Amino acid sequence: MYPQVLGIYAKKGEKEVGSGGTTTSYTQETFWFARRLSDEDYEVRPLSSGHVPTGIKTMLSKGEFITQFTPEPRYYETRTLPVLKSLQKKIELGEQFFKKGLLSKAESEFMKATMIDEENAQANLGLGAVYAEQGEFKKVSKVIGILLNSDLAFQEEQRKQFNIFGISLRKQGMHDDAIRFYSKALEYNAGDEHLHFNLARAHYEHGDHLECLKNLETALKIKSDFVEAQQFLEFLRKTS
């Protein structure tokens, strides 16, 4: 049931300009994309000039949300929703092209998506995976800079995409970047055994067997019947 998209809401606030006797006040209206995360928890993000959610999330209680925000259903239907549909279509096309190994076409679609929303987590994860596969290391580093400053990139909804990106980094020998990326992901979900396993592999390929061992053991504490982690741990102990 949750998270549930509520649409676009308006927030009004009093602003002052000038100083002293020339100070005047006016009402400023801003627009926000809202989601309900639970019966009592709400999330809002400001809209960009292109009518898409961007920037930092603000968490609110039900009472705070109801008293501060008013719904703008027409805004969502006529402005934001069409843009979001176009954005999602480009991302889905990019992911399809990536799966088929059509990297140039995938890059084109992800780039179109970032032109709509330059901070979009899905689009940047996809773009990063393309650049990693192409060996475009400078471009990968730029994308990583964007992603590491975006909490949206590591939310549960993006799990598939950030796993693909992390694997692409590791496959291309970008072990330092893979370690940074997986470590950041664990800040948001320390209980994900697959993240610990992937981080263990990155550490192993980077030559740090001690950190590899630690992460494998953590993965198995979370899920004791994690077969791949068991096999990797057995291999590590035999070869150490």
pLDDT bin (cut points 50, 70, 90) of residue 116 is very high
Tens-digit pLDDT profile for residues 62-72: 999 999 999 99
Q: What's at 143, amino acid-wise?
A: V
Q: Any idea what DSSP says for residue 47? A: B
State the residue for tokens 């035999």: 238
Q: Is the pLDDT of residue 25 over 90?
A: no
Q: Is the pLDDT of residue 19 over 70?
A: no
pLDDT value at residue 22: 66
pLDDT value at residue 14: 67
Two tokens at 179?
Answer: 């370690």
pLDDT value at residue 21: 62
Tens-digit pLDDT profile for residues 163-219: 788 888 888 889 999 999 899 889 888 999 999 999 999 999 999 999 999 999 999
How much is the average pLDDT of 25-52? 91
Selected residue with higher pLDDT from 24 and 203: 203
What's the chain's average pLDDT? Answer: 90
Tens-digit pLDDT profile for residues 125-138: 999 999 999 999 88
Q: Is the pLDDT of residue 2 over 90?
A: no
Selected residue with higher pLDDT from 91 and 153: 91
